[in-house]
Chain A
């Protein structure tokens, strides 16, 4: 009743300070309404859901350490003579960029640590995004309504690659300069406009005196700015869609089962940030990364052996190393296929995985929302495609490190290169077939488990001397979990005649869709999950053996 409440508040005196601050903020920002739907928001629990968190936290670490580095780094290519405390470089000519990076590493206390945390966090960030993306892919979490968030994540991965590349090019050391020169060569290969693009990027002839300053603004402002926006959008969508969950007792497509943000996930996720940061700091304490002082300043006429980009650029390196050096010269022009083809395939490799959700939704024709995750085995074609894509990626990584493979395993570099050239086409196909087989095998196993129970390991001797293994029936919870997934029926081409009996034209896209749908959900491409009738028929006989 209103009178008693006003009495009570009067007797208590003023509200506590925290509440008064919250009231103040609510009157301006509406935080109570925001908190009503979000403070106790439910998040489901599964170890794989933390992969995205790793990315978020390493991104924050990168921003924090990156801001620190900008306080000391000079993005300039003016030549200076080194007079710092690292003796082997003293008296040497180098750009200010290189000079200031050496200064950070040797003369700023803790500067080396922050540099190494920054670089390690970048590697973790990219690796985390890769694995997170695979988690989302193999569990079908990209399905409606999350396709846009899939694209946000994909863009973050691609932009992360380029932010990383522009970042490690900044110190203007011998290794990264070689990478930039490679980039120049790749740009030159673009037909018609390549030389112009290169001259505009480098402010004239390579290397010029501009690219460090330009990469700097791209690395610290343009790309991270876009990425920050995408990260925020990504998170807003995660909150808005509510997190996906695996099938299980009590979990449906219309609910989300888990624990509330406040306090459990506040503590777990907040704590996890510190775990990630702590782990990366410890790595940076003991594992040296990018020792630019050992490589020396960049000189276009010098190079070290074993030159490798950071791992996430490795697959593009594989493309460039294994492509045969085709060049076509006609009418006074050169088409540099040996470099341009890899440059075109590079984005295509990435786009192949990015567009997959749209292809699958076209094949299934499914317009419903999906919040229950698939087990990878229950989507064999998707899983096989994803595995094939990873295999493709890794074949290219091998190609990108062909010299490392050759020296570490005493193999012929020519043999490795030829292996990669062939494997580029063959391995994804083999992996696709093998993965699909494995998925179907696992589906059969699930079917057996549901119908015949779990192998208990207990051997029983029957009165007439026969030995059998006792199978332990599953609980209803397990039965439900193993049979909760949906199985699509292959799409069929509709009636070939219309209602007037006139033959209608079947579009090529329709035929393709029916074919693909059959490849996904046809008879041999998924194992029918057990039905209740089958289950009853088999279990009813159990007591009478």
Chain B
């Protein structure tokens, strides 16, 4: 009785006639393991023509792979690297990337498809059982190992000579310290570097885009203007380091809309200057909502109210953006009246 006969036999009508109500072979324990089911032949096992078809299919897949590889080489040498093509529905693509990727993909995929088809249709699919053996060692092996270990330990005399043992442990414990010290020069010490920026009294506010100092009239209502301290050029060696702290944003508010008293004092004709570096984890804030005077950090959505001391009104930031006190110099240009009074950017342990 092969396994695929069972369902039919078990159909209710036949069952009553042939076997009474018994559905299963094992009367005593119907849940018992019946053992591996007999192997069911595939069509390739019994029909040589089907096997031939499979063989041809596998060979065809491998051949397609060869052709694709030749296509890859042809694409590599013939397609100009800067040509772009339109592929529906994806859009414009680099022709080279598209051709190389597809030919390589086909060349690889058909090797895999051929191998898997070969395995599934032609290689033996008879399931066999392999025994498992317990991983734990038998007791006599364990006893032998423990005895060996004790012999070894005894012969080393480590237990008898604690002086050796303790000094060795001490030496081994100390020696990594050298490595630890070697790490010291990975960086300079923080000192007060995080507390200061390039801004100082009299430094002009330079427009980030035009690279020109600004007059109050250059700051239009409703726009967000980015500024850097005068003397900081992109070509400076420490530009990235300095701008990471000194980046500034300017907004013109109606003085009567400024709710915070200190903010009003530190502003000039309604122009307020705030650190652009978010106090959460240091992303540059770049979204400004004109109507509400809110700025939003696009990284983690901390929202600050620029008309109210840049206090946090939503999101994960922990404190307000630091304000830069600004004024106008004798020539009518906007200038800083000092450095930020508190550290810019994310909070840290020594910030206080």
Contact = CB atoms under 8 A, between A and B. Distances in A.
Nearest to A474: B23
B98 A286 contact: yes
A204 B242 CA distance: 12
B127 A539 contact: no
A278 B106 contact: yes
Interface string A436-473: 00000000000000100100101010000000001011
Given A255-B131, A268-B115, A413 B301 contact: yes
A325 B312 contact: yes
Interface in B20-71: 20-26, 29-37
B21 A539 contact: yes
A106 B81 contact: yes
B116 A267 contact: yes
Given A109-B96, A320-B300, A201 B187 contact: yes
B108 A281 contact: yes
Contacts of A195: 190, 194, 348-350
B115 A480 contact: no
A264 B124 contact: yes
B190 A480 contact: no
Contacts of A511: none
A249 to B, nearest CB: 5
Interface residues of B, number: 115
A151 B128 CA distance: 31
A279 interface: yes
B24 A475 contact: yes
A268 B118 CA distance: 9
Interface string A365-409: 000010100000000000000000000000000000011000000
B76 A109 contact: yes
Interface in A217-273: 240-242, 249-260, 263-265, 267-268, 270-273
Contact of B108 (A277, A320, A329): A277
Interface in A144-198: 145, 178, 181-182, 184-186, 188-196, 198
B36 A336 contact: no
B105 A299 contact: no
Given A259-B128, A417-B315, A532-B29, A301 B284 contact: yes
A204 to B, nearest CB: 5
A241 B135 CA distance: 8
B337 interface: no
B107 interface: yes
B30 A470 contact: no
B1 to A, nearest CB: 11
Given A42-B129, A479-B31, A206 B316 contact: no
Interface string A298-325: 1111111111000000000100111111
22 contacts: A110-B76, A182-B299, A185-B346, A188-B348, A188-B349, A195-B350, A204-B241, A206-B241, A250-B129, A255-B132, A259-B127, A260-B128, A272-B116, A278-B106, A278-B108, A278-B112, A285-B99, A301-B208, A413-B301, A475-B6, A535-B31, A539-B23
Given A278-B107, A301-B243, A458-B12, 14 more contacts: A42-B129, A93-B235, A113-B100, A196-B189, A241-B135, A249-B35, A254-B131, A275-B108, A277-B108, A280-B105, A300-B240, A338-B316, A413-B301, A539-B23
Interface of B: 3, 6-7, 10-12, 15-16, 20-26, 29-37, 76, 81-82, 87, 90, 93-94, 96-102, 104-116, 118-120, 123-132, 134-135, 183, 186-190, 193-194, 208, 226, 228, 234-235, 237, 240-241, 243-245, 247, 276-277, 280-284, 286-287, 298-302, 312, 314-319, 345-352
Interface of A: 41-42, 79, 85, 93, 106-107, 109-110, 112-113, 116-117, 145, 178, 181-182, 184-186, 188-196, 198-208, 210, 240-242, 249-260, 263-265, 267-268, 270-288, 298-307, 317, 320-327, 329, 332-339, 369, 371, 402-403, 413-414, 417, 450, 453, 456, 458, 460, 470, 472-477, 479-480, 483-484, 532, 535-536, 539-543
